[in-house]
Amino acid sequence: MKVLGLVLAGGRGANLRPFTDIRASAALPIFGKYRAIDFTLSNMVNAGISKVGIITQYSPRSLMDHIGSGKEWDLDRKQGGLFFLQPFFRLSSETIGYKGTADAIFQNMTILKRGNEDFVLIGSGDHIYKMDFQRLFRAHINNGADITVLTIPFSKSSKEVISCNAGRVTGWYKDTKSFDINEEELRESAGVYFINKFLLRELLFSCVPEGKDNLVEVISANLSSLKVMEYRFEGFWRNLTADVAIYFKTNLDILNHKIREELFYKHGKIYTKLKDLPPPKVTTTGRVTNALVSDGSIISGSVINSVVFKNVRILAGAVIENSIIMEDCVIEEGARLENVIMDKNSRIRSGRKLSGSPENPAVVEKSGVI
Amino acid sequence: MTKNVVAMILAGGQGTRLGLLTDEIAKPAVPFGGKYRIIDFTLSNCVNSDIFNVGILTQYRPHALSKHIGIGRHWDLDRKDGGVVMLPPFQGRSDADWYSGTANAVYQNIDFIDSFNPEIVLVLSGDHIYAMDYNEIIDFHFSKIADGTIACMRVPMSEASRFGLMIANFEGRIMEFQEKPQQPKSNLASLGIYVFNWSFLKVKLIEDARDPNSAHDFGKNIIPRIISDNSGQLYAFNFEGYWRDVGTLQAYWESNLELTRPVPGLNLHEPTWRFYTHTEEYPPAYFSPEAKIRSSLISEGCEVYGTVENSLLFQGVHIGEGSIIRDSVVMTNCIIGEHCTIEKAIISERTIIGNSVQLGFGEEKPNKVSPEIYNGGLVIVGSDVKIPDNVLVGKNTAIWNHVGEKQFEGEVPSGEILYPEER
């Protein structure tokens, strides 16, 4: 089975300012050395997908810098490989850009027309999870489905609610306020769709010109005519763009042994851009407990319950607790941080104190100095 | 200017004094510094010096080395023009055979070098750990209008007899050369880094190849002959940076642990002189709430639940709860159980150690088989070894690669070597 991967990575991530002021949400740093998109991209590559289109729109520079030629994912290929699908000017339209996820694929119809793939797997660059997509492919075939949607357990705050009957998707709702359905039948969409390529083309040609710009609209308009099935995912799944508190909490979740096991060691590896930095170093004054530390970092202070990204310097006497310290940060002597997210390349002057709360972490912006 | 330079890296040696570490792989492929292999330093120096025509002369067990280097992509040496080429010995029309010496290895690849039509050939060793901008020695070479230039370093007089020594005049011109002499006349030691005008070296290599009494070695034959014949001008370039020959287990262990010091001689963090390598993808290192780490390098993929002091853990090492690792080098993907005590050990790749194992235990006694290799109180554990629970291992010991659980009977006393069954 040949599958084309499409990653939706154009999101603005407005709830995650200031981190998304300078980067697309799919390029959000996570777990010490990764970017959000690494998870979906690695899941696809681990499932044997060798042709991937990445649909970008908002602020793609850091995302493109991260992915480059796709070499780390073995996507620098002569056949297939990696395609960046960026918005462009069209003669037929005054506006530039994609109006929605379906419109984005519609405007890049060439990638669906070319190539010998039979199926398309559509995922989002903002979601953190690890799964074996091969199982989803098999379920799709066994169910004789037209479209398979990945679903996660339903929650009250969900904005992508799906009602199901014996595995078949029967309804798609923006929230649960307006109706009354047995909650046992409700699931939440994880934003992953598996669909026959030719069917997708037909759906896009028939729906997008009518003004249905999002995939959800396209699919939910055809629930009665098509066999749309759900595939249940019960593992660790997070949408990073929900809000800053969830972004903060998700980053710290990796200190849990079970979550590390699931995300890093099950169903293949997570690939990311390599930088060839030397191994992390803890000096004679350093103390590290319950923390994740990446290459190139030198720890001379204390690090407790925290995630330390690459090439960070934590100088003697500094105390870091419950914090996320991104790449190239420097924390000078005697500084104290608690519940802080430091964006890349920022610096805390010696003796300064900064603290937030788990629900409302203090934020140091990129290249900021405090 | 560097376009017309070809670097030839000698990577065929076994490195017998590294004992079981080089039983299955060539010395340049021995892991070093948490994620590197020894040859990475020479290769990175080439790339950082903008030298992109590189030949690697291999002979002894080249598989690990070939796999590591591949097409050179991790060093940006996968190029349309030039790049890295592995040069194993080959069968030719007549005089080709196994490489009989360092000079013979280069001699047999004259065609390869000629294909670049270079002005300068850099002869390097893949056995050394150092950071050096080759442009400096090449500039020096040009400024002296030399035929050949040898990089040298002052060493303590007591150690001088381990090296090839230069006696140079006030200008730096080499007047006399002693290869590992009993009575050293100088402490200016050769670092095994040579710059030659290719037209000059080619003639010398052909002359040497015709000499039946020659061992075809740069240090033993080519260099002494140029000086005794006075057939060329050789200069000594005084190098003042970091350079180590990790030729013995003791030196290998010390150089690795040196990296854990606050300001090590070799700066792996220098952003303008990065060392590149080919490694697997691992998640960041995890330190548990019980972990106590002091003065150590803990590579990515490690999960530490115990105590690590003054040690170097390579990638993917797992240290169980209550275990103490002190003054040790633990290589990639080793798993160490709970409540172990490991002191002054070198543990090779993928070794699995059970619970309550003690390495480096008891009185120090010289090794019974090879005291010249296994000394200094070190415990050397090979790759893919399985040590069962409650085993005690003494000092100056070696546990060979692939030793299985069944071969341990409670204790390995100081001075023993434990071999696998099928050996």
* pLDDT averaged per 10 residues in sequence order, chain A, 370 residues: 90 85 90 94 93 89 90 88 84 73 87 89 94 93 92 83 85 73 78 92 88 86 90 92 91 94 92 91 94 95 95 95 95 94 94 92 91
Q: Does B76 lie at the interface with A, CB-CB under 8 angstroms?
A: no
The answer to whether B361 and B345 have CB atoms below 8 angstroms apart is: no
Residue A274 is predicted with a pLDDT of: 86
Average pLDDT over residues B230-258: 93
The answer to whether A285 and A301 have CB atoms below 8 angstroms apart is: yes
Tell me the count of A-B CB pairs closer than 8 A. Answer: 106
Residue B374 is predicted with a pLDDT of: 92
Residues 245-284 of B with CB under 8 A from A: 259-260, 262, 268-269, 274-277, 279-281, 283-284
Dist. CA B329–CA A119, nearest whole Å: 49
Judge: A284–B294 Cβ closer than 8 Å, yes or no.
Answer: yes
Residue B137 is predicted with a pLDDT of: 95
B316-368 pLDDT, tens digit each: 999 999 999 999 999 999 999 999 999 999 999 999 999 999 999 888 899 99
Mutate to test the interface with A, among B260, B282, B286, B318 (most CBs of A within 10 A): B286
Q: Which of B209, B240, B225 is nearest to B147 (CA)?
A: B225
Name chain A contacts of B257, Cβ cutoff 8 Å: none
Judge: A284–B34 Cβ closer than 8 Å, yes or no.
Answer: no
- pLDDT at B211 > cutoff 60: yes
The CA–CA distances, whole Å, from B164 to A31, B24, B222, B240 equal 50, 28, 13, 17
Range A3-265: architecture per CATH: Alpha-Beta Complex (3.90)
What is the overall mean pLDDT for chain B?
91
Residue A78 is predicted with a pLDDT of: 84
Judge: A294–B285 Cβ closer than 8 Å, yes or no.
Answer: yes
**Fold observed for domain B286-418:** UDP N-Acetylglucosamine Acyltransferase; domain 1 (2.160.10)
Comparing CB atoms, the residue among B34, B73, B262 nearest residue A279 is: B34
Name chain A contacts of B313, Cβ cutoff 8 Å: 279
- pLDDT at B133 > cutoff 90: yes
Mutate to test the interface with A, among B37, B266, B274, B281 (most CBs of A within 10 A): B281
∠ CA B333-B338-B341, rounded to 5°: 90
Average pLDDT over residues B214-230: 91
Q: Does B112 lie at the interface with A, CB-CB under 8 angstroms?
A: no
Residue B286 is predicted with a pLDDT of: 96
B141-171 pLDDT, tens digit each: 999 999 999 999 998 888 888 888 999 999 8
Q: Which residue of B has its CA nearest to A271?
A: B281
Mutate to test the interface with B, among A281, A292, A304, A324 (most CBs of B within 10 A): A281
Comparing CB atoms, the residue among B279, B297, B300 nearest residue A281 is: B297
Q: Which residue of A has its CA nearest to B309?
A: A284
How far does the CA of residue A296 sit from the closest CA of chain B (Å)?
A: 7
| Residue B323 half-sphere exposure toward CB, CA atoms < 13 A | 28
Neighbours of B282 (CB within 10 A): 20
Name chain A contacts of B268, Cβ cutoff 8 Å: 278
Judge: B295–A283 Cβ closer than 8 Å, yes or no.
Answer: yes
Interface of A with B (CB under 8 A): 31-33, 71-72, 255, 260, 264, 269-272, 274, 276-284, 286-296, 298, 303, 307-308
Q: Does B75 lie at the interface with A, CB-CB under 8 angstroms?
A: no
Name chain A contacts of B312, Cβ cutoff 8 Å: 279
B280-325 pLDDT, tens digit each: 889 999 999 999 999 999 999 999 999 999 999 999 999 999 999 9
**Fold observed for domain B2-258:** Spore Coat Polysaccharide Biosynthesis Protein SpsA; Chain A (3.90.550)
Which residues partner with B122 through β-bridges?
Answer: B7, B195
How far does the CA of residue A58 sit from the closest CA of chain B (Å)?
A: 28
What is the longest distance spanned by two Cα atoms in chain A? 68
Domain boundaries, chain B: 2-258, 286-418
How far does the CA of residue A351 sit from the closest CA of chain B (Å)?
A: 22
Name chain B contacts of A303, Cβ cutoff 8 Å: 287
The answer to whether A149 and A192 have CB atoms below 8 angstroms apart is: yes
Q: Does B298 lie at the interface with A, CB-CB under 8 angstroms?
A: yes
Comparing CB atoms, the residue among A271, A283, A292 nearest residue B281 is: A271
The CA–CA distances, whole Å, from B332 to B144, B315, B328 equal 46, 5, 13
Judge: B275–A269 Cβ closer than 8 Å, yes or no.
Answer: no
Q: Which of B206, B20, B192, B197 is nearest to B110 (CA)?
A: B206
Residue B204 is predicted with a pLDDT of: 94
How far does the CA of residue B421 sit from the closest CA of chain A (Å)?
A: 33
Domain boundaries, chain A: 3-265, 281-364
Backbone angles phi, psi at B408, to 5 degrees: -95, 130
Q: What is the DSSP letter of B243?
A: E
What is the CATH number that goes with domain A281-364?
2.160.10.10
The answer to whether A160 and A216 have CB atoms below 8 angstroms apart is: yes
- pLDDT at B3 > cutoff 60: no
B78-114 pLDDT, tens digit each: 888 889 999 988 877 566 678 888 999 999 999 999 9
* Percent helix / strand / coil, chain B, rounded to 5: 25, 25, 50
The answer to whether B54 and B9 have CB atoms below 8 angstroms apart is: yes
The answer to whether B45 and B131 have CB atoms below 8 angstroms apart is: yes
Residue A182 is predicted with a pLDDT of: 66
Could you tell me what percent of chain B has a pLDDT over 70? 98
Judge: B297–A290 Cβ closer than 8 Å, yes or no.
Answer: no
Average pLDDT over residues B116-120: 93
Residue A214 is predicted with a pLDDT of: 86
- pLDDT at B1 > cutoff 60: no
